[in-house]
Chain A
Amino acid sequence: MPDRIDLIEIFEFRRPRTENYLGSLSPHDIELGQYHLVRGFNGTVYPMSDRSVVLRIVDCNGVEGWGETYGLVAPRIVAELIGELFGPLIGARTPDHPAEFWDSAYALQRNRGYWGGYLADTLAAMDIALWDLYARRKGESLQSSLGMPGSGMLPCYISGLPAPSTAQRVEMAREWQARGFNSLKIPISDTNAGDVPAEMEALRAGLGNDHRIAIDLHWTMTARETLDLDRALIPYTPWFLEAPTVPEDIAAQQEIASNAVHPIALGEEWRTQWDYRARLDCCTIIQPEMGHTGITQFMRIAALADTQGAQIIPHATIGLGIFMAASLRASLAAGASVHEFQHTIYHRNGVLLEGNATCEKGAFTIPDTPGHGVSPNAEAYEFMEPIGTWRRGK
C-alpha cells in the first residue's frame, strides 16, 4: 500500500509589484476593482500584484510536496475544488502514482466538458505537489523520476522589455546581451502602437544578426494580418511568432502555420494533450505552461511534440516560482531546447524559495536535488495567506 496523504494546505501567494506586468497603464487599459487591470489590446485581465496559488501536500510520514498554479483571478477557487472534490478523492483512494491521480481526477468532470479552466489548473497544482512528494520519497530529483537523472543546463530567453520607448527597449536588450543572454522575446505591447516591423528593425540593428528575437502577438491579429506581418518581418529574421490569433480558431491557426515563413509558437493556454492534438499542424514550437498542465500533462504534451518534430520552448508565468522549478526540471527530462525567463519576476520572487536554480549567462543551471528542488523559505510566508485546508478524516 502506498503511504497515505493526510493533509493538503492551500495558500494564496500575493506580492505587490512596483511596476505592472506588461508595463504601465495605457489609455486603452482599465483598472478592474482592487486587484486587476484589463489590457485594451487583448481584453485580458491581469493582476496588479504577483499572484498565484501554492499547495503543500503532506503524507503520513511527514514527507511534503509543493505545488503551484494560477491564482491571478479568484484564487479561492482552488481551495473550493480541493475541499469539495480532490481532497475527498485522495481520501477515498491513495494514488500509487501522480499520473494515476491526474487521470482519475480529470475523469470526474470530463463528461461535463471540464477539459481545462480552473479544474485543470487545480489539477496542475496537485500534480506538481504529488510528483514532488513522489520524487522526495525516493530521495531523487524530479528529472530522475521522469527518466533523466543528473543536473543540467537549459538555455533561456529574456521575456519582455518593459520600457517606454524603442531606444530604451533596445538599450535594455543590449544590457542583457552584454550579460550573455543571446535570445529575446518582446510582447506586441512593447512596440509603438503595434508597429512590429519598426521595433524589430531597431532591435536587429542594436543587437546584431546572431541575436534571436521573437515576437509575442498576444492573440491580437487575424490570419491575414499575421501573414502580412510575417512577410514584412523577413528582413529582420525573427526567431518565431507567438500566439498570433484568437485561441479558439484552430482553422485560422492552421492557415497561419501553413503559410507563414517564420516558425509559429503556440501552447501557453493549453491544459492537456487533447488541446495539442487538435493543433498538431498549427505550430512548430510548443510552449506548455507548467502552471496549467502540471507535470503529467506537460510530459504527455512533450511526448506528442517529439513525434511531431516540434520544438519545446516552455512558457513561464507569474507566481512564487514553484511551478517554474518544476517546469525547468520537466523541461530537462522532456528535451526542451530553451525556456522562457521572466527577468522581472524570476529572481525577485526566487529569493523567497530555498533551492531555486540560478540563471546566468543565458542559461539556467539545474541541480540534481530531490523533488523539484524548491520550497518556500520563512520570508515567503509573509506573502502566503492560508485559504484552505483538507485533512483526512478518521
Chain B
Amino acid sequence: MPLSLISARPALSSANSFQDDVAGSSQIIKKVDAYVIRVPGARGGTIAQDREIEMPPIGSLRETYGLGARLDHATPSRFFGRMQTILVRIETDKGLVGWGEGHAVAAPTVHREVISQLFAPVLIGQNALQILPLWERMYSTQRTRGFNSAGFFSEALSAVDIALWDILGKHLNVPVYQLLGGKFRDRIPTYKGVRTEEDAKIAIKEGFTAIKTGFFKGSGTSTIDRIASLSDAAKGKGQVFIDALGAFKLYEAVDVGREFDKMENIGWFEDALVPEDSDKYPILAAALDTAICVGETYGTRFQFRDLISKNGVDIVNPDISRAGGLTECKRIADLADIFGVLFSPHVSSGFPPYVAASLHLAVATPNTAIMEGGDIHSAKTIGGSRGNLLLKKPIKFEPGFAYVPEGAGLGIDFDEDLLRDIIEEEGGQKYRIKS
C-alpha cells in the first residue's frame, strides 16, 4: 500500500527548483511588478462620478441590500464609474518583459498585494518558461484554504499566468496562439451591448451580427416587450443575447426563458441563475430551447467540470483574467469541446493583455463562438478603447470582428511613457491622464 506523502501529489512538491533549462535555454525571473490602473470607463467617469456610482441612494438600499438581497437576489453587484484593472510586468535575466492582467473590477490594490506578497517570492529566481509547474505551485500555496474558486487570488494568478505565456512567446519569437497549437481563424466575431431598439438598429447597421442586453429584476426597462422589440430589430440580420447577471431562481428563469424560446433569434440566455446555484443549470438547460451561456463568474477548471459534463451549459464563457489565465482557460475550452459545448471568452472591462490573451486563445480553439467587442473600434478614450490607445500598434477591431494581434508573445507593445502616466502610486488614490 503506497502511502508515501511525497508520491501522493508530485505536482505539489515544492522541493524541485524549476530553473532547469528547457531545450538548452531559460528565462530566469528577476522582477515582478503589479500596477493598479484606474481610468475613466467606457461611459466616461470622473472620481466624483465614481463616488456617486459607488452607492445607491439610501432609500433604495432596503430593497436591494441586506437580507432582501439574500432572499430575493436583485443584481446588487457593485459597479464603478472608473475602469479599474491590475497589470503585471515580469522581467527576466535576459531582459525579456512579459505583460499580464487580472480582471480587477473592484479594489485592484488587493490584487497588487497578492502578486507582490505571495506570488513574487514564488516566481523570483525561477525559469519563466516552466508555466504549468509554476501555475500549480502558485495555486497550491492557498488552494487548501478555500482559494480554489474565482476571486482576488484567481485573478492575480491569471495575471501572472498571462505574463508567463507572453514571455514564452517572446522567447521563442512566436505568437501565443502558435504556442497553443496554431490558429483556426484570423478574426473572431464580436457582439455589442445595447439597451434600446434604437441602439440595436445602429449596431446592426454598423455591421454587428449579434447584440447583447441586460434582463433582470428590479429594472424598469426589463420587460419582455423590450426584448421582443430588440429581437424584431435584429430579425433576419442577427442574434440577441440576454444577460441576466445571475438574477433568477430556477422557476423564474424557466418562466422568462420560455418567453425567449418563442422568439426566433435569441442567441443565448446568460447567467440566468443565482451564481452559487450552478448545480441547477442542467435542469434549466433541459427545460429551455434557448441556449444557456454561463461561466464568467467561475474560476478554475474544477468549478467548470460539473457544469460542462452534466450538460448545464451550451456556450461556456470563462474570463481569462479571472478563471486562471491562458493555462486554465485552455483546459476549460478543451473540456467544453469534449462535451460539444461552445466557447466564448468573457471580455469585459480591461486592458490589452486581457483582450489579447482572450483573442489568442479564441483563435486557437476550434469551438470558439464569439466574444464581446462593443465600441472599441471607434473609442477615443483610454478607458473606452480598453487601453488599446496605449499600444504602439492597437489591436484591430471593426464592427462585428476582432483580429488576433500578430507578433511575438501576446503581440502587444505598450507605449510605456503613456502607461507610466496612468499607473496609480502606492497608497494614492490619484491618477493622471494626459489630455
Contacts and interface: CB of A to CB of B under 8 A. Distances in A.
B78 A77 contact: no
B198 interface: no
A194 B276 contact: no
B252 interface: no
Contacts of A33: 121
Interface string B133-163: 0001100111111111111111000000000
Contact of A77 (B2, B76, B114, B245): B114
B236 interface: no
Nearest to B117: A74
Contacts of B140: 42-44
A115 interface: yes
A80 B141 contact: no
A152 interface: no
Contacts of B271: 111
B151 A116 contact: yes
A39 B114 CA distance: 19
Interface in A77-120: 77, 80-81, 84-85, 88-89, 92-93, 95, 99-100, 103-104, 106-120
Given A107-B76, A278-B279, A32 B121 contact: yes
B109 interface: yes
A110 B73 CA distance: 10
B388 interface: no
Nearest to B80: A84
A21 interface: no
Nearest to B153: A117
A247 B12 contact: no
A108 B105 CA distance: 11
Given A95-B66, A110-B246, A274-B276, A80 B107 contact: yes
Contacts of A250: 306
Interface residues of B, number: 73
Contacts of A100: 65-67
A106 B75 CA distance: 12
Q: Which of B8, B145, B303 has the most CB of A within 10 A?
A: B145
A28 B297 contact: no
A118 B153 contact: yes
B73 A113 contact: no
A208 interface: no
A114 B107 contact: no
Contact of B65 (A76, A104, A274): A104
B302 interface: yes
Given A104-B66, A111-B75, A84 B106 contact: yes
B113 A80 contact: yes
Nearest to B68: A103
A15 interface: no
A45 B297 contact: no
Contacts of B58: 92-93
B322 interface: yes
A188 interface: yes
A222 B8 contact: yes
A215 to B, nearest CB: 12
B145 to A, nearest CB: 5
A199 to B, nearest CB: 11
B142 A44 contact: yes
B122 interface: yes
Interface in B217-266: 245-246
Given A104-B66, A111-B75, A248-B143, A77 B150 contact: no
A45 B140 CA distance: 8
A247 B73 CA distance: 28
A178 interface: no
A38 B146 contact: no
A13 interface: no
Contacts of A115: 149-151, 275-276
A205 interface: no
Contacts of B302: 248-249
A193 B4 contact: yes
A220 B113 CA distance: 28
A218 to B, nearest CB: 7
A219 interface: yes
Nearest to A45: B141
B276 A40 contact: no
Given A45-B118, A112-B105, A188-B5, A85 B144 contact: no
A225 interface: yes
A296 B3 CA distance: 39
A382 to B, nearest CB: 23
A70 B147 CA distance: 12
Given A111-B275, A118-B153, 14 more contacts: A29-B15, A30-B14, A40-B12, A42-B12, A43-B12, A74-B113, A85-B107, A112-B103, A112-B105, A114-B151, A120-B146, A194-B6, A229-B3, A248-B302
21 contacts: A36-B121, A40-B12, A40-B14, A42-B144, A43-B9, A44-B144, A45-B142, A73-B141, A80-B110, A84-B110, A108-B76, A109-B106, A112-B150, A112-B296, A112-B297, A115-B149, A116-B146, A120-B146, A193-B4, A220-B5, A292-B146
